[in-house]
């Protein structure tokens, strides 16, 4: 008899434990806010190309730099003449918003045997150290800010490496400039 009571007690105790664990426990709930902001498309238009002007190489090579504030300087005995220009772009988008300017670390300008598309590349020059200036933010940085009219003007300068004995020719290449919010 004692044995039956003990088994009954154990069965009741196990059942109680099972029911107690199956009983709903208090839950903690929180809600999170989710948002999305739709903005105007950000665009960039090229207004003026980057032009280093006429360059005479030196026996030891050097550089020509055109700055965003439209100054030109030379190193290594390289000589320059003729007009030059910094690149100029117009950025349009959502008024008052900041944006980032993306330029390549370096790129290659090349000269071909002739203007024919099938002609071979003869020589190349490296362009690097791209730097930009935003007229709205007033800073030389890889960022800008759109004015209240939704526009900004940015200027771009760079450094052209001119090796000793660089071959004469019109060297050219594309400078990709991208903007993003």
Give the tens place of pLDDT for each residue, 62-96: 999 999 999 999 999 999 999 999 999 999 999 99
Name the nearest CA neighbour of 180 among 128, 135, 144: 144
Residue 165 has pLDDT above 90, yes or no: no
Instruction: Count the neighbouring beta carbons within 10 Å of the beta carbon of residue 132.
Output: 24
Name the nearest CA neighbour of 70 among 179, 172, 158: 158
Q: What is the pLDDT of residues 5-64, one digit of tens each?
A: 667 666 666 666 666 566 666 788 899 999 998 888 999 999 999 999 999 999 999 999
Q: The tokens of 2 are what?
A: 């004692």
Most confident of 11-25, 94-108, 115-129: 94-108
Residue 27's pLDDT is what? 82
Q: How far is the C-alpha of 2 from the C-alpha of 74, rounded, in Å?
A: 107
Q: The tokens of 163 are what?
A: 């090796």
Q: Which residues of 94-121 are buried (b: 16+ CB within 10 A; e: fewer)?
A: eeebebebebeeebebebbeeeeeeeee
Residue 132's pLDDT is what? 97
Spatial neighbors of 163 by CB under 8 A, at least 6 apart, are 57, 61, 125
pLDDT confidence bin for 117, thresholds 50/70/90: low
pLDDT confidence bin for 144, thresholds 50/70/90: very high
- Of 31-45, 55-69, 110-124, 156-170, the one with minimum mean pLDDT is 110-124
3-state secondary structure of 31: coil
Beta partners for residue 154, in sequence order:
89, 134
Report the predicted TM-score, pTM, of the whole model to 2 decimal places. 0.76
Residue 26's pLDDT is what? 78
pLDDT confidence bin for 105, thresholds 50/70/90: very high
- CATH no., domain 43-180: 2.60.40
Name the nearest CA neighbour of 73 among 15, 175, 157: 157
């Amino acid at each position: 008899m004692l044995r039956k009571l003990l088994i009954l007690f154990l069965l009741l105790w196990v059942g109680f434990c099972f029911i107690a664990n199956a009983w709903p426990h208090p839950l903690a709930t929180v809600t999170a806010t989710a948002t999305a902001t739709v903005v105007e498309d950000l665009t960039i238009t090229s207004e003026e190309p980057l032009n280093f002007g006429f360059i005479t190489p030196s026996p030891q090579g050097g550089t020509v730099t055109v700055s965003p504030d439209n100054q030109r300087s030379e190193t290594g005995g390289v000589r320059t003449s003729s007009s030059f220009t910094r690149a100029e772009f117009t950025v349009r988008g959502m008024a008052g918003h900041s944006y980032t300017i993306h330029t390549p670390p370096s790129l290659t300008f090349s000269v071909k045997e002739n203007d024919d598309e099938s002609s071979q590349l003869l020589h190349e020059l490296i362009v690097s150290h791209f730097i930009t200036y935003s007229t709205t933010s007033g800073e030389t940085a890889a960022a800008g800010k759109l004015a209240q009219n939704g526009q900004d003007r940015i200027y771009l300068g760079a450094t052209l490496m001119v090796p000793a004995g660089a071959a004469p020719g019109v060297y050219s290449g594309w400078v990709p400039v991208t903007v993003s919010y």
